[in-house]
A and B are shown apart, each in its own frame.
Chain A
Amino acid sequence: MQLFNELKTLGQQHIKADKKAGERVPSGLWIACPKCHQSLYHKDLGTYQVCPNCEYGFRITARERLAWLVDDFKELDADMKTTDPLNFPDYNKKLEKSRRNTGLNDSILTGIAKIQTEEFALGIMDPNFIMGSMGTVTGEKITHLFEDALKKRLPVILFTASGGARMQEGIFSLMQMAKISAAVRRHSNEGLLYITVLTDPTTGGVTASFAMQGDIILAEPRVLIGFAGKRVIEQTIHQKVPNNLQDAETVLERGFIDAIVQRRDLKQKLEWLLESHSKGGLVNG
C-alpha cells in the first residue's frame, strides 16, 4: 500500500483528501463499531475503514477495496446481468438499487490485476449487493475467472463476502456452488495457486463452496464466518450459542483458516504469497 501512495503526487493526495472531507461533512457522525461497540468518529476509520479499537474491517464496496488493493486492474464481464430466471417479484427493483449503491451489475467484481509485478486473477464480492448473495451471474463470473486464469496460468485471489445463495434465483444459485467447485478443481490440478480472503460476512453456500477451497485461506480480523446463521442454529438446538462461535478467531482455532490478516497488511502479504508461489516451487519449476 505504500506504493499506492507513492504513485500519487502530494498535490493529488491533498485534492483527494479534501474531496473526501467534503463528502464526509453531512455524514461525519459518530458511529458504533458493530464488533466492540466502541463509539468512533467516522474519520477515524481511515483509508481502510477499520475500527482503531478492535481492527474489525467495516463492510466496504468492492470498488473501495480495489482502490487500495492493487496497482493495475482490467475488469472482466462487467456488463453481465442476471436474466431473473424465476421472474421473481420485485427482484429487478432490488437489483437496480444494489447497482446504484455498488457500481456493479452483480455481487462480484472480477478482473486481471497486478500488485507490483505479480499478475493474478482477482474477484471481490460486494457485501452491499443484496448482501453479497451468490446468484447466477456471480457464479458465472467466478467460473469464468477460474477458466481464464487456467488458460493464462495465473493464480486466483477471491475476497468473499456473502449471506449465501441468492434466494431470488432459487435452485440456479445452488447449482453455482457445484459449477464453481469443478472450475476450482481444474485450476488446482494444474498446480496453480488459489487464495481466499474471507471478509465480513462469509456464510452459507459461499462458505460451503469456494470460500473454503483455497490453498491458503486468510480472513480479516473479527469477521463472521459460518455455514448456518446464528438464529437458525438457536432455533434448531433450542439453546443460545456463544457470540464468538463464528468469529474468524474461533474458526481459526478450530482449524479452518490459515491466518488472520489486518486489512492494512493485506496487499503486502498477498504480494509475498504470490511471489513465493511464482518461483521455486516443485510444480511451477
Chain B
Amino acid sequence: MVNILDRKKTAAQIVAGARNQEKMSAYELINGIFENFFELHGDRLSGDDAAIVGGIATLADKSVTVIATNKGESAQERMLTHFGCPQPSGYRKALRLIRQAEKFGRPVFIFVNTAGAYPGKSAEESGQGEALARNLLEISEVKVPIISVIYGEGGSGGALALACGDSVWMVENSMYSVLSPEGFAAILWKDSKRADEAAEVMQLTPEKLLAQKVIEGIIPESHSHKRVCRAIKKTIEQEMKELMSLSPNELLVKRYERFRKF
C-alpha cells in the first residue's frame, strides 16, 4: 500500500488504468473475495437492472450483503448494463438489499466501477435523481457497517450513491470525481481534448483523495486478479472487524461526521 506512492503516475495514466478493459468483472470480483454468493434480483418497484449485481455471501464465516456495479463481459451484456451505468431500478435494488442487510444485521460491501448513473430518457422518466437522492438519504442511517471499494471508475453522483457509508477504499488504478475529465474540460474550457489537463486539476486520483480524506485508503493492484482480490479481502475484513465493534449509534455518529467535515 505504501510502495505505490513512490511510483509516480500522472492523473491521466491513472484515468487510463481505471478504465482498462482488463479490470475484473463484478462476478469475478465477488467470487474472488466471497464464498457462497447467492444473487438476488429486482427492486420490487419496476424492474431488475443488470448494471447492479447484489446478493448474500459469506466473508470470514459471517453472512454479508454484497453489491457491485456490473459492466458486463460480452457485447450483448454491455448493451444490457449500459456499460455499467445503473438505471434508477439499479439504485433501488441496491437500497432494497441494504435495508434487508440492516434487518438481519449483515454488514454491506459495495464495489463500484461506473462512469456514472445512466443518462437516458427512460432513466429520467423513472426518476434517476430521486433514486440517487433516496439512497443518500436512507443510507445515512442504516444501522450496519457499509464499506465501499472503488475499483475502476467512480463517476459522480452515481458512484456516491453507492459510496456514502462508513468506509471507502480505492484500488491503485481507480478514479473518483464529480464528472469525467472529458466532461469537465468540455464544460469549463469548451474543449474535451484537454481531458488530461482536467484530470490533473480535478484531483481524482486515489492519492489525492486520500490526502483530502475523501477515502480511507488505497489498495495495491497487480495484473494478477487473484492477488487484487486477496488484497481487497484483507482490507475489507479488517474494516468489517473494526466497524462491527461499534454500537449502531457510534456507527451513525461517525458516518455523519465522515461527510460533515467537507
Contacts and interface: CB of A to CB of B under 8 A. Distances in A.
Interface in A187-224: 188-189, 204-205, 207-213
Contacts of B187: 167
B140 A228 contact: no
Interface residues of A, number: 52
A1 interface: no
B129 A171 contact: no
B82 to A, nearest CB: 8
A154 to B, nearest CB: 19
Contacts of B127: 212, 254-256
Contacts of B256: 182, 186
A144 to B, nearest CB: 10
A232 interface: yes
A176 interface: yes
A187 B216 CA distance: 27
Nearest to A214: B133
Contact of B119 (A168, A173, A232): A232
Nearest to B82: A236
A171 B137 contact: no
- Which of B134, B178, B183: most chain A Cβ within 10 A? B178
B161 interface: yes
A181 B135 CA distance: 9
Nearest to A226: B124
Contacts of B129: 207-208, 211-212, 225-227, 256
Interface in B120-175: 120-121, 123-130, 132-134, 136-138, 140-141, 156-157, 160-161, 164
A86 interface: yes
B260 A171 contact: no
A245 B124 contact: yes
B128 to A, nearest CB: 4
A188 B133 CA distance: 14
B259 A178 contact: yes
Contact of B137 (A139, A185, A229, A256): A185
A165 interface: yes
Contact of B157 (A167, A168, A205, A245): A205
A183 B137 CA distance: 9
Given A181-B136, A205-B156, A227-B132, A171 B177 contact: yes
A226 B130 CA distance: 9
A36 interface: no
A107 interface: no
B178 A174 contact: yes
A16 to B, nearest CB: 39
A233 B85 CA distance: 13
A108 interface: no
Given A86-B203, A226-B124, A254-B125, A171 B209 contact: yes
Contacts of A242: 121
Interface string B103-119: 00000000000000111
B124 A171 contact: no
A interface SS class: helix
B57 to A, nearest CB: 26
A171 B212 contact: yes
A256 B88 CA distance: 13
Contact of B124 (A172, A177, A205, A227): A227
- Which of B137, B201, B203, B204: most chain A Cβ within 10 A? B137
Interface string A22-44: 00000000000000000000000
- Which of A176, A177, A237, A241: most chain B Cβ within 10 A? A177
B114 to A, nearest CB: 14
A182 B260 contact: yes
A164 to B, nearest CB: 9
A212 B177 contact: no
Given A182-B255, A211-B133, A175 B120 contact: no
B75 interface: no
Given A182-B140, A186-B256, A175 B262 contact: yes
B133 A88 contact: no
Interface string A133-152: 00010010001000000000
B188 interface: yes
B179 interface: yes
A236 B157 contact: no
Nearest to A237: B120
B110 to A, nearest CB: 14
A242 B157 CA distance: 24
B178 A170 contact: yes
Interface of A: 86, 88-89, 136, 139, 143, 165, 167-168, 170-179, 181-186, 188-189, 204-205, 207-213, 225-229, 232-233, 236-237, 241-242, 245-246, 254-256
11 contacts: A136-B262, A170-B204, A175-B160, A179-B262, A181-B137, A185-B141, A205-B157, A227-B128, A246-B124, A255-B127, A256-B130
